[in-house]
Amino acid sequence: MNILVTGGAGYIGSHAVQRLLRDGHTVVAIDDLSLGHREAIDALTDHAGDRLVFEKASVGETTRLETLMGDHDIDTVFHFAAFASVGESVAEPLRYYRNNIAEGIGLLEACNHAGVGRFVFSSSCATYGEPADEHIPIRENCPKNPVSPYGQTKLDFERILEAWAEARRNADEPVAVTMLRYFNVAGCDRTGILGEDHDPETHLIPVALEAALGKRDGMAIFGTDYPTPDGTAVRDYVHVEDLIDAHVRAMEHMQRNGASTPKAYNIGIGNGHSVREVIDSVRRVSSVDFPVRDEPRRSGDPARLYADSNLVTRDLGWKAQITDLDAIVDSAWQWMQRHPNGYEAT
């Protein structure tokens, strides 16, 4: 198949490009390189021959994308490109609405012009906000009350996709949409080609690994008074390769089943680890002890978020394969040790 991957040079998008190439597909990757890394694409090009095309482009460049989709006979879009930092979205909401919503609409217009109706969207558990205890583990029908502009943009784009799909269906145009609500994506490609490289890094596992590597002077635990067994926040850490497998299954399912109403699925391993458990894992995997200080809660951080993923198991046969926290952490540790300065120095 021929797949357009937006955000193809980013952490998650590059892992999708790798998997699709490995499966024998042809990939057109676009990225505006504002956050993505050209080096990630270069690392994949060596193995891809002419099955990988990269263009520095943003998802809002409708005419250009329409041409790209037509030229390469694209049949499916994986839409990863987005700003995805919760705290930043609170400080700069307009940037988030412009990038995640307005630019995304440009992409859908290009799909219309090029006649592309199969679409997999990177949504987020941030669409749920702070679920009440009775909704843990979180099912797809849990009330949606995002507490950040980031989460709101993901929920709004889900609604836009639903309206887009209905309009295409009414016009007898082919359409099939899957929306995957990611929990905490972690780890790296276990062949060691791709990694996670954000600037600044704020995510728990890479922050702790940077502390183990001596790149930072220890780290903070944000909140030790949550109503959880050890007082720290609990999250569902899903390995990036498992996450991408869900996209591939969604694409194959949509191809087999033709037109369908948009479906949303939670993508998580189905249980949670506390911040302290993650730090313990990083200490075990790296064999390095590093200083940890207790700090107040980060605003907008829910106490517990983990998925009930039964729906995606039932419909797509997906289940996380890498469920051992140390294995997830180790995959990230291997890459970070070899790339202490991220992609820059490769």
Q: Which residues does the annotation mark as catalytic?
A: 150
Q: Which of 126, 212, 269, 322 binds ligand UFG (CB under 6 A)?
A: 126
Q: For the window 56-85, what string marks contact with ligand UFG as x by the rule CB under 6 A?
A: ----------------------------x-
Instruction: Give the DSSP H/E element, type plus range, for residue 14.
Output: helix 11-22
The reply on whether position 299 binds ligand UFG by CB under 6 A is no
Instruction: Give the DSSP H/E element, type plus range, for residue 283.
Output: helix 275-286
Rg (CA), the chain: 19
The reply on whether position 37 binds ligand UFG by CB under 6 A is no
The reply on whether position 255 binds ligand UFG by CB under 6 A is no
Residues forming beta bridges with residue 289, ordered by sequence position: none
The reply on whether position 142 binds ligand UFG by CB under 6 A is no
The reply on whether position 243 binds ligand UFG by CB under 6 A is no
* Options 31-39, 57-65, 108-116, 201-209: segment touching ligand UFG (CB under 6 A): 201-209
Angle at 34 between CA 154 and CA 126, to 5 degrees: 20
The reply on whether position 221 binds ligand UFG by CB under 6 A is yes
**C-alpha pair distances (Å), 21 with each of 53, 58, 144, 155, 240:** 11, 22, 35, 30, 16
Q: 287 and 217 in contact (C-beta within 8 Å)?
A: no
Q: Which of 38, 95, 298, 338 binds ligand UFG (CB under 6 A)?
A: 298
Looking at beta carbons only, is 68 or 221 nearer to ligand UFG? 221
Q: How far is the CB of 136 from ligand UFG (least distance, A)?
A: 13
Distance CA 86, CA 246 (A): 24
Nearest Cα residue to 168 out of 125, 246, 114, 100 = 114
What are residue 25's phi and psi, to 5 degrees? Answer: -80, 165
Q: How far is the CB of 202 from ligand UFG (least distance, A)?
A: 5
Give SS3 for 310. Answer: helix
Q: How far is the CB of 275 from ligand UFG (least distance, A)?
A: 4
Interface contacts to ligand UFG, rule CB under 6 A: 84, 86, 124-126, 150, 184, 202-204, 207, 219-222, 233, 235, 275, 298, 301, 305
